[in-house]
Amino acid sequence: GNKNINAKLVLLGDVGAGKSSLVLRFVKGQFVEFQESTIGAAFFSQTVAVNDATVKFEIWDTAGQERYHSLAPMYYRGAAAAIIVYDITNQASFERAKKWVQELQAQGNPNMVMALAGNKSDLLDGRKVAPEASIYPSPLLFESYEAQTYAQENGLFFMETSAKTATNVNDIFYEIAKRLPRL
Residue count of the chain: 183
Applying CB under 6 A, does 102 fall inside the site for ligand GTP?
no
- Please state, as a whole number, how many other Cβ atoms lie within 10 Å of the Cβ of residue 96: 22
Applying CB under 5 A, does 162 fall inside the site for Mg ion?
no
Distance CA 28, CA 70 (A): 29
Applying CB under 5 A, does 62 fall inside the site for Mg ion?
no
DSSP string, 55-67: EEEEEEEE--SGG
Which among 15-23, 43-51, 72-80, 133-141 is the span making contact with Mg ion, rule CB under 5 A?
15-23
Convert residues 19-58 into a mask of x (bound to Mg ion by CB under 5 A) and - (unbound): xx-----------------x--------------------
Distance CA 20, CA 30 (A): 11
**What are the residue ranges of helices labelled H in 43-90?**
72-76
Which partner, ligand GTP, Mg ion, none, binds residue 122 by CB below 5 to 8 Å per kind?
Answer: ligand GTP
Distance CA 81, CA 111 (A): 9
Residues in the interface with ligand GTP (CB under 6 A) total: 24
Binding site for ligand GTP (CB under 6 A): 13, 15-21, 32-35, 37-38, 63-65, 119-120, 122-123, 162-164
